[in-house]
Chain A
Amino acid sequence: MTIISCEKLTKTYQTGTITVNALRGIDLTIDKGEMVAIMGPSGCGKTTLLNCLSGIDEVTSGRILIEGNDLTAMDDSAKTSFRAARMGFIFQFYNLLPVLTAVENAELPLLISGAPADEARKRALSLLDAVGLSHRAQQRPASLSGGERQRVTISRALANTPAIVWADEPTGDLDKKTSDEIVALMRRLNKENGQTFVVVTHDPEVGAKCDRIIHMRDGNVVNQNGLVSDVTDDIRQLG
């Protein structure tokens, strides 16, 4: 069942006097429960595509449907509410709030959605337990390692039981061993909970662990079922 689809998606923005066509009429679909990697060389539009599909950024033209809802027709407030209810986010640099503890960061999306505080706390603790961090629940980000911080980010992303989890370079700031652990965790959660994961990455090993790779180049999707080798060849050629 298709959970994400877009038609003729374009995104253009200005940088000074230069016009950048970041996305050039993209069509793609992603099914529910898939773990999909978006890969390509630097500047190909990966993050822009993720930002547009998740509603963080406005599109120039085209249509995006998330669970059958037309995201492009929603105003900012509706999109924000939709994100809070149906989406989770994992960022490269974690973007945890430094003044909140691990459990407080994890429960934040639930509080945003208006869940009662004790229910939010209970859910957050169970998620931290699921990612193996229950013993670090009261620690602040400054006291956590990179891998631990990313686990907290994952807990936060799953707090609202989202339909879709968007991950932008989730292993970009981690060493190999920790990266493997994080990707394995994401894979396990994807399998156990049936949530759709869309992962932007330049790491071939991360791509290899996903169900398929959406290969991008120059703002276009060149292959919706790409191979890791295709992507790495591309990256080597184009830098």
Chain B
Amino acid sequence: MSPTTSGSWGDLVSRLRTAVAAAAYVIALLASLFLMPTIYALAAVLLLTVLFVLFDAMGNRILFKMAVRNVVRRPGTTVLVLAGLMVGTAIISATMVVGDTFDSMIVGEVSDGYGEADFIIAGQENGDGLYNASDVSSIRDQLLLIDHVDSAEWFLAAGSGIRNLQSGVTLPTVSIYGLTSAAVSGLGGFISTDGTPIGVLPADGHMFVNEDLARILDLAPGDVVTLSATPSLGDEPITLDLTVETVVAGKAIGGMGGSRNVFLDLASAQQLRGLQDGVNALAVSLDAAGRESPNVTRDAIAAALAEPDNQALGLEIDGDRAMDMEDGRANVSMFTSLFLVFGSFSIIAGVVLIVNIFTMLGEERKSEMGMSRAVGMQRRHLRKLFIYEGLIYALATSAIGSAVGLLLAYGLINAVSMIVDLGDVAIADYFSFTPTSLLIAYLAGFLLTMVSIYGVTRRISNMNIVRAIRNIPEPLRSRGDKQAFRLGLLLLAIGAAIMYAGMSSETLGVAMGGLSLMTMSIGLIGRRFVGDRIAWTVAGLLTLLQWMPGIEIFPYVGNIEMFVLSGVFMVTSLLIVVMFNSDPIVAVLTRLLRVKGGYKAVLKTAVSYTLRAKGRTAMSMFIFGLVIFTVTTLSMMSGMLGVGIPKMIDDTSGGFDVIAFSWAPVDMWAEINGTDGFVDPANITDIVQLTMGGPTFTIPLSITPSEEEPRQFGYNAIGVVPALYERGNYPLADWNRTLYPTEKDVWLAVQNDPTLVILDGSALPNDLDGTGMSINAGPFQGVAIGDQVNMTGRMGDDHSLTIIGFMEQSSFSGAYMNRELVAEASGMNGTNLFMIKLVDGADGEKQSLLLQNQFWAQRLTTIPISSMAQDAVAQINGIFDLIKAFLAMGLIIGITGLGIVTIRSIHERRVEIGMMRAIGYTKRMIVANFAMESAFVAILGILIGTFLGIVVGYELWGSAFSDMGIDFMVPWAPILLVGLGALAATLLTVLPAARGASKVSPAEVLRFE
């Protein structure tokens, strides 16, 4: 260590050395960040930081030796520190690994779905996308001339019902692919489930099935199935009996996107579709270089399709492997962002815990540090001492945290796999992680720990020597304290700058954050004039008010980050108000709470210590408050959705139990009652039979002027019959009340007039204010009563429709109009949409399966409403429970932190404890005192978090759920469970320490001779 007198030569050399090393560090850091690939840059940042600190340590060997010995001198404390510091890293690591897994899932699913194909070309010829193979063979030849295109083969894709003739099991929809030999070889061929490559088509009268379909239908080679397809919606089904030749592995070959696939020769598929020469998709595969960088090839293909000779065909790139992968990754990144947002609460709690722990270490060593300063150690030497120690902890805890995060992610992914229905996707099979992610987590945890420690060391190193040696607390800052005033001015300036930046970029979170910093600064500035209590109370109340429901300061829209910001600022500001008004609170509480005998004294000291020892109490209370706030808000959302979603689904059902849809027309009621099928007519009390098609709708630019081109999409067109509105319960949210006095008038109007239409409720979406998210938004959003939209039928016939009403329900999508118009536009001459009412007590799921089996040839798909509601609620609850479990880690941090504070408190107050025992506190009263202190912190934090969570939950309800007809509710059961659980865990954690406190011998601590 350099000589202790500042200004001496040795000291100057030391400072110069550090400055040069710091400059070199910054330059090397910037160079690696800008010049190296990401993973190397991250590794370089870590290495450079460690080297810089170690280089500094080499010039301060005695300090480094002290740091190392401090780490090992008390193993129990070291373990506690390691456990506390690694939590933030674990959460970051878990989030990164979850992201990696989802990424792996997307890549896997897209790759599996596309096989060897990179693009699928398709069009809208004749409205059904079918082309004569001979007419489009030139397209193939043209595309083969483009660089990097390996193969381009036409095929026919169709949907079909299927029945296993051995077992009778049916499915209403499987994907049929009719291929040529060239297509099979050009797209890489098949692989059977035993690993044998297959480069040829199935034999005549035979088919391949993929393993998912084989598993579901219990198919094996040699089994015979019947396929049933309809050439177009509304046609009579065509059936074909085929034998299973082989079960092939995976999902697909060459861009066949379904998960339950049947592969035939092209002629058989055409026969099933009633075609002579029809194809409807062209699979294009690229070589390795093309797949690596597909953009140029994509542009060349698009250009070829747009050439004048080809334009009339209307072909375009319909499936794009690279884009699908990119879109999939973008969607997944939203999910991982959600985890990171909720995890950030626990990360914040982790940072506060780091500060708590290092403050504790500083307090424990106060007198020895005071002695070190007395004999000549500079303040910067004390800081270096802690930084060297912090480096050792950071290196170890980041590694431990990254590993723990990996395990946590494994648990989370498996939980998601069990709870969330992702169809046939088994996400647990895709569990994976990348070295980059672990390195990012390690680095983030390392830097988080080091920065937090550095902040604490600055405070510790500024202690007064005499007070440190005698272990006397630092005095409170006086009102005239200039440093606090200057800090307040700085905070005001920073807040103003941030607010200005937010206003310039119209970002709500930034603007509100800046404004909150400004109002908080009132506490630091105002205390000089009016004292701590008034200044901080005003600061806290003003900050809290900004975030309360109904207060809009900036007219901008925020996203999910608003949730985090509102939580942090609301909890902090309410905490400040409580802590700085502790005296009246203590007085009220000690009057209100009736305790017997000597426990009055215990209550008084416990409550006083909690509220008047502001610093350490506030940190623990903040963690509790923040986590409980989030848990409460989530509980409220899931509670309201848990009630609201079934209600919405019930509204969708219109009072029916099953909704079913077929490809071929069928008179279901007649069939059920007239034939001996799977369904017992006694179980069915009513069937409303409707006609549905899937034409194309266009919204003109006059309605959506902000869009670049008219919005065009396929949507259900449903023909209205009296039974729909007479026997079904489908209230309207809004309609043209001038022309139609009652809802029935509206229904009658669309029933009779083919120029009118009613839209479902998704045309009126609910935005979750401040989150950037919408619930139930549909493609018609933005239209209004009286607007005209265009419908194009399958033969290209255009129809203009005027909107005269919106339904309340938004789940049963449809444009409800004149039945004849639907039949004309879709070609559906008959009924294919069924609203089925069952007898009371009938099992909806079972009856649905029976209906599917009976009408498999018409490819009937059924939706049992009650199980749909149950599944939806189970999924929602499952997702929210997962997030709450993630948040529970933050609660664990809070409880740990409280335990540390209690241990610290007991150690510092040993002499006080001796005095308390001397003047009459029994051992039991000492235990009660410390237990009560911790319990009080936990209770106050829980109350603050619960109150604010309910407030925010109310705001969410008002902005989104109330319009959906969902009533406001507070799910007290889960909220109380979490709160009481946290309290119980707190007491269990602190009781051992409290018992230890009761064993303090008064004689030993009071001995002064």
Is A197 interfacial (CB-CB < 8 Å)?
no
Q: Are A114 and B596 in contact, CB atoms less than 8 angstroms apart?
A: yes
Q: Which A residues are CB-close (under 8 A) to B923?
A: 76-77, 80
Q: In the complex, how many residue pairs between chain A and chain B have their CB atoms under 8 Å apart?
A: 107
Q: Which B residues are CB-close (under 8 A) to A88?
A: 919
A214 CA / B370 CA spacing, docked (Å): 39
A77 CA / B923 CA spacing, docked (Å): 8
Q: Are A156 and B919 in contact, CB atoms less than 8 angstroms apart?
A: yes
Contact (A84, B920) CB under 8 Å given A95-B911, A95-B912: yes
Within B908-930, the residues touching A (CB, 8 Å) are: 911-912, 914-915, 917-923, 925
Q: Mark B559-603, 1 if CB is under 8 A from A, else 0.
A: 000000000000000000000000000000011000011101100
Is B773 interfacial (CB-CB < 8 Å)?
no
Is A48 interfacial (CB-CB < 8 Å)?
yes
Q: Which A residues are CB-close (under 8 A) to B613?
A: 99
Is B140 interfacial (CB-CB < 8 Å)?
no
CB-nearest residue of chain B relative to A77? B922
Q: Which B residues are CB-close (under 8 A) to A85?
A: 920
Within B146-167, the residues touching A (CB, 8 Å) are: none
CB-nearest residue of chain B relative to A138? B583
Is B34 interfacial (CB-CB < 8 Å)?
no
A169 CA / B1009 CA spacing, docked (Å): 9
Contact (A142, B476) CB under 8 Å given A56-B918, A77-B922, A117-B590: yes
Q: Are B1007 and A113 in contact, CB atoms less than 8 angstroms apart?
A: no
Q: Which B residues are CB-close (under 8 A) to A142?
A: 473, 475-476
Q: Which B residues are CB-close (under 8 A) to A43?
A: 1009
Q: Are A99 and B612 in contact, CB atoms less than 8 angstroms apart?
A: yes
Q: Are B918 and A99 in contact, CB atoms less than 8 angstroms apart?
A: no
Q: Which B residues are CB-close (under 8 A) to A98?
A: 473
Q: Which of B596, B597, B604, B923 has the most CB of A within 10 A?
A: B604
Q: Are A169 and B1008 in contact, CB atoms less than 8 angstroms apart?
A: yes
Segment with Cβ contacts to A, from B247-255, B311-319, B998-1006: B998-1006
Q: Which A residues are CB-close (under 8 A) to B1007?
A: 47-48, 51
Within A48-84, the residues touching B (CB, 8 Å) are: 48, 51, 54, 56-58, 76-77, 80-81, 83-84
Is A151 interfacial (CB-CB < 8 Å)?
no
Q: Are B1003 and A51 in contact, CB atoms less than 8 angstroms apart?
A: yes
Instruction: Give chain B's interface secondary structure class.
Output: helix
Q: Which of A77, A89, A97 has the most CB of B within 10 A?
A: A97
Is A108 interfacial (CB-CB < 8 Å)?
yes
Q: Are B917 and A56 in contact, CB atoms less than 8 angstroms apart?
A: yes
A54 CA / B918 CA spacing, docked (Å): 9
Q: Which B residues are CB-close (under 8 A) to A95?
A: 911-912, 914-915, 1006
Contact (A57, B1003) CB under 8 Å given A77-B922, A156-B919: yes
Q: Which of B591, B597, B920 has the most CB of A within 10 A?
A: B920
Q: Which B residues are CB-close (under 8 A) to A100?
A: 604-605, 608
Q: Are A47 and B921 in contact, CB atoms less than 8 angstroms apart?
A: no
Is A29 interfacial (CB-CB < 8 Å)?
no
Out of B590, B612, B914, B920, name the residue touching A81 (CB < 8 Å): B920
Is B609 interfacial (CB-CB < 8 Å)?
yes
CB-nearest residue of chain B relative to A98? B473
Q: Which B residues are CB-close (under 8 A) to A109?
A: 919-920
Q: Are B590 and A113 in contact, CB atoms less than 8 angstroms apart?
A: no
Q: Are A42 and B604 in contact, CB atoms less than 8 angstroms apart?
A: no
How many residues of chain B are within 8 Å of chain A by beta carbon?
A: 35
Q: Are A117 and B600 in contact, CB atoms less than 8 angstroms apart?
A: yes
Q: Are A92 and B917 in contact, CB atoms less than 8 angstroms apart?
A: no
Q: Which B residues are CB-close (under 8 A) to A215?
A: none
Is A172 interfacial (CB-CB < 8 Å)?
yes
Name the distance in Å between B478's Cβ and chain A's nearest Cβ: 11
Is A34 interfacial (CB-CB < 8 Å)?
no
Contact (A99, B919) CB under 8 Å given A56-B1003, A113-B598, A168-B1006: no
Q: Which A residues are CB-close (under 8 A) to B917?
A: 56, 80
Q: Are A80 and B1008 in contact, CB atoms less than 8 angstroms apart?
A: no
Q: Are A42 and B1009 in contact, CB atoms less than 8 angstroms apart?
A: yes
A50 CA / B915 CA spacing, docked (Å): 14
Within B959-1009, the residues touching A (CB, 8 Å) are: 1001-1003, 1006-1009
Name the distance in Å between B908's Cβ and chain A's nearest Cβ: 11
Q: Are B1009 and A46 in contact, CB atoms less than 8 angstroms apart?
A: yes
Q: Are B1008 and A108 in contact, CB atoms less than 8 angstroms apart?
A: no
Q: Are A84 and B600 in contact, CB atoms less than 8 angstroms apart?
A: no
Within A105-157, the residues touching B (CB, 8 Å) are: 108-109, 111-114, 117, 142, 156
Name the distance in Å between B607's Cβ and chain A's nearest Cβ: 9
Q: Which A residues are CB-close (under 8 A) to B609?
A: 97, 99
Q: Which B residues are CB-close (under 8 A) to A111?
A: 598, 600-601, 604
Name the distance in Å between A75's Cβ and chain B's nearest Cβ: 11
CB-nearest residue of chain A relative to B911? A95
CB-nearest residue of chain B relative to A45? B1009
Out of A56, A58, A76, A172, name the residue touching B1008 (CB < 8 Å): A172
Q: Are A97 and B590 in contact, CB atoms less than 8 angstroms apart?
A: no
Q: Which B residues are CB-close (under 8 A) to A83?
A: 918-920
Q: Are A112 and B915 in contact, CB atoms less than 8 angstroms apart?
A: no
Q: Are A89 and B919 in contact, CB atoms less than 8 angstroms apart?
A: yes
Q: Which B residues are CB-close (under 8 A) to A108?
A: 601, 604-605, 919
Q: Which B residues are CB-close (under 8 A) to A172?
A: 1008
Q: Mark B859-890, 1 if CB is under 8 A from A, else 0.
A: 00000000000000000000000000000000
Name the distance in Å between B618's Cβ and chain A's nearest Cβ: 14
A103 CA / B590 CA spacing, docked (Å): 15
Name the distance in Å between B582's Cβ and chain A's nearest Cβ: 9
Contact (A114, B1006) CB under 8 Å given A89-B918, A99-B609, A142-B476: no
Name the distance in Å between B196's Cβ and chain A's nearest Cβ: 80
Name the distance in Å between B154's Cβ and chain A's nearest Cβ: 84
A97 CA / B917 CA spacing, docked (Å): 13
Name the distance in Å between A116's Cβ and chain B's nearest Cβ: 9
CB-nearest residue of chain B relative to A172? B1008
Name the distance in Å between A90's Cβ and chain B's nearest Cβ: 11
Q: Which A residues are CB-close (under 8 A) to B911?
A: 93, 95
A213 CA / B569 CA spacing, docked (Å): 64
Q: Which of A48, A91, A92 has the most CB of B within 10 A?
A: A91
Q: Which B residues are CB-close (under 8 A) to A114?
A: 596-598, 600
Q: Which of A44, A80, A85, A104 has the most CB of B within 10 A?
A: A80
A111 CA / B917 CA spacing, docked (Å): 14
Q: Which A residues are CB-close (under 8 A) to B1003?
A: 48, 51, 56-58
Out of B608, B914, B1001, name the residue touching A104 (CB < 8 Å): B608
Q: Are A97 and B1006 in contact, CB atoms less than 8 angstroms apart?
A: no
A29 CA / B915 CA spacing, docked (Å): 25
A204 CA / B394 CA spacing, docked (Å): 57
A84 CA / B601 CA spacing, docked (Å): 12
Q: Are A91 and B915 in contact, CB atoms less than 8 angstroms apart?
A: yes
Q: Which A residues are CB-close (under 8 A) to B598?
A: 84, 111-114
Out of B475, B476, B920, name the residue touching A80 (CB < 8 Å): B920
Q: Which B residues are CB-close (under 8 A) to A46?
A: 1009
CB-nearest residue of chain B relative to A43? B1009
Write 29 A-B pairs (CB below 8 A) sorted by A numbering: A43-B1009, A47-B1006, A48-B1009, A51-B1003, A81-B922, A83-B918, A85-B920, A89-B915, A89-B918, A92-B1008, A93-B911, A95-B912, A95-B1006, A97-B605, A97-B608, A99-B608, A100-B604, A104-B604, A111-B598, A111-B600, A111-B601, A112-B598, A112-B920, A112-B925, A113-B920, A114-B596, A114-B597, A156-B919, A169-B1008
Please list the 5 inter-chain residue pairs (A to B) with the smallest Cβ-Cβ separation, ordered nearest first: A84-B920, A57-B1003, A111-B601, A95-B915, A114-B597
4 further interface pairs, Cβ-Cβ under 8 Å (given A51-B1002, A80-B921): A89-B915, A95-B915, A104-B604, A142-B475
A interface residues (Cβ-Cβ under 8 A, vs B): 42-44, 46-48, 51, 54, 56-58, 76-77, 80-81, 83-85, 88-89, 91-93, 95, 97-100, 104, 108-109, 111-114, 117, 142, 156, 168-169, 172
B interface residues (Cβ-Cβ under 8 A, vs A): 473, 475-476, 590-591, 596-598, 600-601, 604-605, 608-609, 612-613, 911-912, 914-915, 917-923, 925, 1001-1003, 1006-1009
